[in-house]
Amino acid sequence: MNLETRSWEIHRYSRNQQKKERDTVAAEYPLTLVVNGEEFATMVCTPKNLEELVTGFLASEGVILLNKEIRKLDIDVDRGFAYIETTRPVSSASHGQKRWLGSCCGKSRAFYFQNDAATAKTATDQTTFSPESCYQLMEMFQAEAGMFKQTGGVHQAAIADRNGIIKAYADIGRHNALDKLYGYLLREKISTKGRVVIFSGRISSEVLLKVSKMRFGLLLSKSAPTDLALELADDLNITAVGFVRGDRMNVYTHPERVGVFSEGGVTIE
């Protein structure tokens, strides 16, 4: 049984013609996380790779730092509950706190959650990817988007190196897709050094912070960034690249990772 999608009867119109047929839509599934016996959060997601999703979400929220800090993880798919036991106590008081104004690495001032301030990391990996590699990786990424082609209703996130896509995840929530990727990295102990994260959605400040926590130095997206995301990327030494489509892209921050720029143009490494 495919829990990710559902068949739905529709009336399809084309100009003045209409016909009744079946269409495929993305499934929307609520999952409630119970951490150490207390309800922690409820997320709406695509019901696949839930272990990775829960692990990545908890890491992104600062509840855990390593996969081994999860003592037990049980998921009741029928009831929509994930039961997690961690090796250290979790304070629910800090979860969902209001945003506060803080200093980001001493350069600019940006709004972000307190747990983000504690867990966001400045990127240190200086691995370079040529523009041609970026174009090719985005093409491979699009070829992996089977569920999007079926439904048009999901986002996708992937880790790749110069040889191609290593792992990709899809979800109705763009943050969930990144959390699944984060959970995969933690559970499988995958290094992000020399690798890039590829993303289908808008580069928001929250997306940028998740990329930072996963320790990526380069983010490729086919969509647009926000100004706050770019301020954070600049401060956290992350190369943010948007509108990667065909043989074009916009490099917004730290361009040294995608070539050597000079006044007369770009020299490909």
207 contacts 228 by C-beta, under 8 angstroms = no
Q: Which of 45, 104, 105, 134 is catalytic?
A: 105
Cross-strand bridge partners of residue 22: 9
DSSP line for 95-157: TTPPPEEEEETTTEEEEE-HHHHHH-----------HHHHHHHHHHHHHT-HHHHHHS--EEE
Active site residue 105: yes
**DSSP code for 212:** H
Q: Rounded to whole angstroms, how far apart are CA atoms 178 and 204?
A: 12
As annotated, the active-site residues are 105
